[in-house]
Structure 1
């Protein structure tokens, strides 16, 4: 029998319509949490995830809103507390996949990535913080990226933003510890997720080698997030936890 260690908890997962975000939403719901399924614009995807959760006996709420819009994020936090009465878990997963040589990169393209990954996380934490403080055992999990630790060609903006997420995780862990809130980062390695037909496999993916010899699944990342949100991880704080099959063995 699956342990419902998150029973009574309420979670917000950004970028939860597909791939890793979807898997995280499903995993937290499987643990007993009620889940706010956030997407930027694709309501159809969010509703599909919500139906999966509800079909398994869980509770979920769709919220369409861009994490770069502070007002939209505040509306999401308000909807969560109005519908479920609380917020205990925030998973900052929303991100963009972009590739461009630095010499050709415009400032607007640079800012687009920073706005989603860094500013979006800022907005979400700020909006959810009052409720997370009331939880008494709040958990924030930010989703990092392996490229922030090893670098990647044509991804200066993404690498920089994901490295910033590590710094923000550590800073928030210090700032929020007295509120009973843990802040950690899960760093996925090469995960097998569908890509648009018009976008080939990034070159840096081909250089990643895992000990297992296989790519991970979104569910592998989701299981790590679920653990960090649960009662067994309350002494883990300010950490970057790698889920990469041994592709990166550094600190």
Structure 2
């Protein structure tokens, strides 16, 4: 009699709150054990863990500072130590601070590249090494996936958030490089939302107006983005490509970032 299948484990970065939390909950509903990464949001991370555990049976929180390379490199081994294995990484955590050509600095660029580009690459590297070890130990189905959360603004650029945009453009390029370098063990897929959640920079009324500015009359909801992440993790034929989940906003031309409109 065959033994029951082992639950799959996914690390979702920046999943204590907002969009990352919604992704974590959607994956837990789909049966994944969720490793909830956070930097400062400890209490919110514990709340997300509790909600995920009710859905999938196991979840745990892991703090890591993505500006610190050693902290990033230690994250996947810590997840493995808790769950015994990890099968996928969703790179959602992101630094999003405003600068433009006039205010650009090396300091701003380096901070965004460390958090938004370097950390996702290191986590993909660690997942690949772990799966190779499992394959060497005789596990036939030692395959996994990485989902990199991008941004529709890469296909619809404007002058705002220069360092952020450059860091996400580098991650989109890494999507292709990683898909080639880590195949066949690891698939790499991008998911690029449009305007999804409001922030302190937008009133609710203005957010709703901007959210409707798309060919479909609505941009992405957190449920739309989470569904795309789940699909990307499940579809074994997808790698080296990006799903734009934005109601078609990338097809239009915006002179400013939504938060500045």
Q: TM-score, normalised by structure 1?
A: 0.87
Cα distance in 1, alignment partners of residues 178 and 143 from structure 2: 15
Which runs of structure 2 are paired with 1:16-95 in the superposition (5 Å)? 16-95=15-94
Cα distance in 1, alignment partners of residues 56 and 236 from structure 2: 27
Deviations 1:202-224 (A, max 9, x none): 99x94983223123211210110
Which runs of structure 2 are paired with 1:1-251 in the superposition (5 Å)? 8-133=7-132, 134=134, 136-179=142-185, 181-191=186-196, 193-196=197-200, 199-200=201-202, 206=210, 209-230=213-234, 233-249=235-251
**Higher radius of gyration, 1 or 2:** 2
Q: TM-score, normalised by structure 2?
A: 0.84
Does the 8 Å CA contact 1:92/1:141 hold for their aligned counterparts?
Answer: yes
Paired residues, what number?
238
Does the 8 Å CA contact 1:7/1:31 hold for their aligned counterparts?
Answer: no
Cα distance in 2, alignment partners of residues 121 and 113 from structure 1: 12
1:200–1:107: structure 2 CA closer, same or farther, 3 Å change rule? farther
Cα distance in 2, alignment partners of residues 73 and 37 from structure 1: 14
Cα distance in 1, alignment partners of residues 28 and 74 from structure 2: 22
In structure 2, stretches of 5+ residues that fail to align are 135-140, 253-261
Deviations 1:118-166 (A, max 9, x none): 1111222233322233362200000001111111232111111111111
